[in-house]
Structure 1
Amino acid sequence: MPTKTTIKCPNCNTDIDVNDILYHQLEDELKQKNISEQKKLRDEVEAKRKEYKQAFDTLKVQEEAIKEQQEKFDEELKKATQIQLKIEKQKLQESIKKELEEEQSESIALLKKELDEKSNQVKELNKSKAEIEKLKREKEEITSKVQAEAEIALTQRLQVEKQAIQKASDEQNELKLKQKEEQLKQLQEQLQIAQRKAEQGSMQLQGEVQELAIEEYLADKYPFDVIEEIKKGARGADCIQIVHTREVQNCGKIYYESKRTKDFQKTWIEKFKADMREKSVDVGVLVTEVLPSALERMGLVDGVWVCTFEEFKGLSSVLRDGVIKINHAKKSEENKTDKMSLLYGYLTSTEFSMQIEAIVEGFTTMKTDLETEKRSMARIWKQRDKQIEKVLDNTIGMYGSIKGIAGNAIGNVKALELPYSDEEDV
């Protein structure tokens, strides 16, 4: 791991990273060097351009001068013989052409040489830029690595400190914990004594509390029903629930009795059944704190439902629903003949046939819309598939171009590489 060298400022005592300063200095020097080289290169190109322009102008002047000379020669040669004129003219043209070709070939060779030199300088400049970017990436990687290692070391140090603090705290609080445990033990003993005294209190008061809780729950849960309380001293259980619905009155009766004793007595069942016959109720529920030994949870004992107060809430809903359904079944049997005739008349009526026709039309319209949506979605899916394929092709082309330029400096994308490419790289 690279070490981080720092020095302190003698004026402000601030830590100064020497590597960071050297990196910035090197970066500034490279930038200044690149700027100066670019400026020098531009100046040289501008100077050469001016030289080429001057040479071109000179060539143009020479051509005009040659043209003038050629016209003079033509005038003089006219006085001579035709053969001598042609020979002299050809010689003069060949010599002028040769001179021009030599001068142009030298100029072109010189320009090509200078262009190659400038191209090499541009390549060197781009290489320097690439080196600067590489240094920046290496600095960022080193910085992130140092931060990660520092976070890991800090976490480990915090864990060690936490364990040391916890150990010291445990040692200091050991005596306090033992003292608290002893006090808690004494409080538990006192609480058990108080509970035994409370259990020895008035059983009648406990029973009345449960009776009131049953009546209040039934009244709140089923506002349409009538909850009749059996007065104290009168023969019978505690209350009767007369079941009503929005449509039907007096669907049935549910009889409730509350017991809160330590032992369950079988004589309660016989007495409760006698009271049910006397009151002409449909269902009887005995809510007790202690279930019979034969039951682990609520159940039916000789035609009477026996449950705890916690089970009573769910059982009351089930029994009430059963009473309503039984009453509905009885009513259906009473009017069975009338209902059959009404049903037959309805099935053979125009209203029924029109309703069936409307239903079929609705399903036909839904099927037509569904087929239309299927065709539209198929077109949209095909269009999206082509778009995705186009994006993938362009992405693959861009990745291949970048990979061809940068080589291994670009990380491999597994989805765009052959399965054996990773092994070859290793």
Structure 2
Amino acid sequence: MENIIHCPKCNEKIDVSDAMSQQMEQQLNDKYQQQLKKQDEAIAAKKNKMDEAARQLALDKKSFQQDIDLKVAQQLKADKVALTKQLKSQFEQDNQLAISALQDDLTEKSKKLKLIQKIEIENERLKREKDEAVHEANLAAEKAMSVQLKIERTKINEQVHTEHELKLKEHQSLINSLKEQIDITKRKAEQGSMQLQGEVQELAIEEWLEAQYPFDQIEEIKKGAQGADCLQHVVNSLGTECGTIYYESKRTKSFQPSWIEKFKQDIRDKNASVGVLVTAVMPKDMKHMGQVNGVWICTFEEFKGLSLVLRESLIKLSKAIAVQENRGDKMVMMYNYLTSNDFSSRVEAIVEGFTELQTDLNKEKLAMARLWKKREKNIEKVLLNTTEMFGSVKGIAGSSVADIGLLELAED
């Protein structure tokens, strides 16, 4: 028999037996799940009880162990105390005799120590009394010695004071004498130094004139003789004396105007044509060479150019005077011209030009010297490199390379 019904809506066939079977299966399953849940809850409750019992057991075990440890410790402590008492009693019994012997020995030594201390105290007292007696004796002796020393010291001080005063006066006198000698020596040294410096410049002037003008006569004025330092007799190419130039050398720290008048008098005494004062320090109102009251004043550097100009001027004047021999006094004409402003201006211009030419010449010499040195270094460098290159080639190629005579050593 078929248990099939139709759905009134969709007309779908439904098996009634299958539906009931599924419903019963669902009911059984739900019932089983409920029973299973109850069993799980019962098991969980039992497990909780067992865990609680285990924790309680652990606590009881721990408490029991603590009680056991405490009782064991108490028993050990009691045993230790009893053992200590027993050992102490035995030790006291064993050492009672030794302690008694030591006590007797200590008592005996204490008596001896007291006796020794009493003896030491007595010794200290005797020593102190002895020291006091010695001190009093020394004090008395020192007082007597002090009085005697004071007397002797007074005598010695008086004697030393007298001797010291005499020696002090002698030393002071000696010092004053030495100071005077030092001052005299210092002044002589300064004078000698200034004189030596002047002589050096004077000698340099004479040597330069002799070297520059070999036909002129350079007359040295001897030391101690009246007059300036040297006199130049100017001689022309025909051997005729054309005039004289008088030179005075001064090399001091300051210029003295009185030199000019004295030098003019020396010029007149020597009947010189012109005078030149060569000085290391120019007058305050002069920065370079010039003429003052008929006397030429210049430095040693300017002297060379001035000397050349003055000499040429004397030669030309001498020639002009010779041509105009019957037209007046030669010496007057020469003196008037040499002391004129025109001659002074011309000489200054010539000397300035000469100085500039000399400076330019020195500069050119230095420049050419540097240029020659540079070229010489370059030539040496080229020659050295050429020699090294030829040597390298010769070392590689051997005798197949011809020798170069200029690069070979000269044979004796």
TM-score bracket relative to the smaller structure: 0.3 to 0.5
- Compute the TM-score of the two structures, normalised by the length of structure 1: 0.32
- Compute the TM-score of the two structures, normalised by the length of structure 2: 0.33
* Structure with bigger RCO (C-alpha 8 Å, 6+ apart): 2
